[in-house]
Structure 1
Amino acid sequence: MTETETQEKEAQIPTNLRLLLILEEVARRGVPVKPSDLIEALGLAKPTVHRLLQTAESEGFLQRDLDGRSYGPGRRLRLLSVNTMSAEHLRTARLAILRSVAEEVGETCNLAVPDREGMIYLDRVETKWPLRIQLPVGTQVPFHCTASGKMYLSTLRQKMLEGFLSAGNLKPRTERSLIEPKALQAEVRRISENGYSTDDEEFMTGMAALAVPVQDGQGRLVGTLSVHAPTQRHDVGSLMSFLGTLQKGAGALSALLTE
């Protein structure tokens, strides 16, 4: 496309829509995006794209990737996504699904979404048992030692996973936490192959958990559906009997995103 053609195409896009289109494209791709990719996809001029990227970065809607050139969702864009998913009608439908899963499983079910530093509980339905593990909505838990977090790690590109593993944030939460990068990478590889993740007292002594992915229409992980229970009632082996129930619930949650 010539410079004149680019200018003509850009002139057809309202000024107040250009930044929204950039944010939409970054979110749609699901991987860090270079300015050249946005120029080609949107037909905006190079100076316009760079100026809008700088604005979005300074305001926290986008952030630079590890390579220093690409851009991905920033904290404010991720928060916008969470708030959108928490809209009243969507939350009502989500809670109905979680309630159905929790009743069938008989234990607490959680919907968690990834944030910059860990997984955040977006919704949950508590077990009716008096002995329960309290992790309220809004709680942030680590990636490396939780079923939900490891499920998320299993979806990362190899370069991003290696960056996470080498960052030195693998702090033990229990004596069973995987904090050796090679061991965690092998675990993440198994999770990717199996399509589910477990937590065998790695995050909290006396707690077991099982998680499956909730995906968007393009098959990308947007969250996880998980169940956790005290080991007095369930170990990882017995939780596995609920895998089909969780997968069915995750499929229903995924369908909400495409309606």
Structure 2
Amino acid sequence: MTDEARTGTRIQSVSRAAHLLMLIASLPEHERSVARLATELGTSVPTVYHLLNTLVDAKLLTRDERKQFRFGFAMEVLSHAYAQQTVPPPELLAPLRWITEVTGESAYLSAWRGGNPVVLTHLAGTHAVQVTNLRPGYRGAANARASGKVLLAFAEAADRDRYLAMHPLESVTEKTITDPAVFARELALVARNGYATDVEEFSPGVACIAAPIWSNGILLGCYTISAPVERYRREKARYLGCLREAVGMPAAPVQEGPTGPA
């Protein structure tokens, strides 16, 4: 069997169109000039115009009165379908498996789905003492979960405000943050540190640490490591290092939140 038969044919124009859509999604509006797009794609300005016009015809893009290209209504259909999809993206599972293999702890992949921070999948660790208090599909108490804090902290402000307006801060344990001002400071700290923790805020005796997954400036979700509190306290630095390696994040100084040392 030939390599092409095994891997399938690739259509360069389709690949360029997909890359172009990703560029438009990741670049600020004032940086979406055709010249910039052509440079990023490594192709000519006329070719970019051909791609843009084709995507406009497909309703994936639209051109406003200022001749600026923006996403069309067909993108909303795709976005809605993706937001309802609960099967985890395969490319995000390998790092999750690596996390459990390296740490021996339970690990989770969570993401925004239908306007909620949702657990997409869970992998059990190998330690004799494990914590498995979350299952795929769980979407409650985002304020009490490390993953919920990460997804809220790095969400678009409008999406975060909408979620918090519809979901009052829920008390799950005596350590859960329920004061809006304190929680706002917690999210600011998460955004500054690049990760979140919860120590017995969701489940007594359990601590979690989570880090966001980015692609071209887009928040795909987050990985979470969950462990018994005592083991977490001993291994926190190592867990954080594993998460940073898994998501490709640079190292950053550890700072503690208003709830005290984690």
Q: Which TM-score tier does this pair reach, normalised by the shorter chain?
A: 0.5 to 0.7
Alpha-carbon spacing, 1:230–1:37, altered in 2? closer, same or farther (3 Å): farther
Separation in structure 1 between the aligned mates of residue 160 and residue 147 of structure 2, nearest angstrom: 15
Alpha-carbon spacing, 1:202–1:117, altered in 2? closer, same or farther (3 Å): farther
Q: Secondary structure at the match of 2:135?
A: coil
Separation in structure 1 between the aligned mates of residue 93 and residue 211 of structure 2, nearest angstrom: 17
Q: Give matches, 1:87-106, under 5 Å.
A: 91=90, 94-106=92-104
RMSD: 3.3
Instruction: Return 156-165 or 125-134, whichever deviates more.
Output: 156-165
Alpha-carbon spacing, 1:38–1:229, altered in 2? closer, same or farther (3 Å): farther
8 Å CA contact retained: 1:210, 1:240 = no
1:205 aligns with 2:200: no
Q: Provide the residue aligned with 2:135 in structure 1.
A: 136
Separation in structure 1 between the aligned mates of residue 125 and residue 58 of structure 2, nearest angstrom: 46
Q: How many residue pairs are counted as aligned between the two chains?
A: 197
Counterpart pick for 1:79 among 75, 80, 84: 84
Q: Provide the residue aligned with 2:176 in structure 1.
A: 177
Q: Give matches, 1:1-16, under 5 Å.
A: none
Separation in structure 2 between the aligned mates of residue 211 and residue 239 of structure 1, nearest angstrom: 11
Letter in 1 for 2:94: A
Q: Provide the residue aligned with 2:119 in structure 1.
A: 121
Alpha-carbon spacing, 1:184–1:104, altered in 2? closer, same or farther (3 Å): same
8 Å CA contact retained: 2:109, 2:221 = yes
8 Å CA contact retained: 2:118, 2:139 = yes
Separation in structure 2 between the aligned mates of residue 116 and residue 42 of structure 1, nearest angstrom: 23
* TM-score in terms of structure 2 length: 0.63
CA displacement 1:26-75 (0-9 Å, x = unmatched): xxxxxxxxx969984259xxxxx7xx58xx98xxx48xxxxxxxxxx44x
Q: Provide the residue aligned with 1:196 in structure 2.
A: 195
Q: Provide the residue aligned with 1:31 in structure 2.
A: none
Q: Provide the residue aligned with 2:242 in structure 1.
A: 245
8 Å CA contact retained: 2:115, 2:163 = no
8 Å CA contact retained: 1:95, 1:124 = no
Q: Secondary structure at the match of 2:82?
A: helix
1:243 Cα deviation after fit = 1.0
1:17 aligns with 2:30: no
1:107 Cα deviation after fit = 0.7
8 Å CA contact retained: 2:197, 2:209 = yes
Alpha-carbon spacing, 1:138–1:41, altered in 2? closer, same or farther (3 Å): same
Letter in 1 for 2:199: D
Q: Provide the residue aligned with 2:39 in structure 1.
A: none
Letter in 2 for 1:99: R
Q: Which runs of 5+ in 1 are unaligned?
A: 1-8, 26-34, 44-48, 63-72, 253-259
8 Å CA contact retained: 2:64, 2:70 = no
8 Å CA contact retained: 1:118, 1:142 = no
Letter in 2 for 1:41: F
CA displacement 1:134-177 (0-9 Å, x = unmatched): 22333334321111110111113444434443445211111111
8 Å CA contact retained: 2:84, 2:114 = no
Q: Provide the residue aligned with 2:105 in structure 1.
A: 107
CA displacement 1:95-141 (0-9 Å, x = unmatched): 33222221221211111111235322223321123432222333334
Q: Secondary structure at the match of 2:96?
A: helix
Alpha-carbon spacing, 1:129–1:193, altered in 2? closer, same or farther (3 Å): same
Q: Provide the residue aligned with 2:40 in structure 1.
A: none
Q: Which runs of 5+ in 2 are unaligned?
A: 1-49, 250-262
* TM-score in terms of structure 1 length: 0.63
Letter in 2 for 1:78: A
Q: Provide the residue aligned with 2:150 in structure 1.
A: 151
Q: Provide the residue aligned with 2:213 in structure 1.
A: 214
Letter in 2 for 1:96: A
Q: Secondary structure at the match of 1:210?
A: strand
1:41 aligns with 2:69: yes
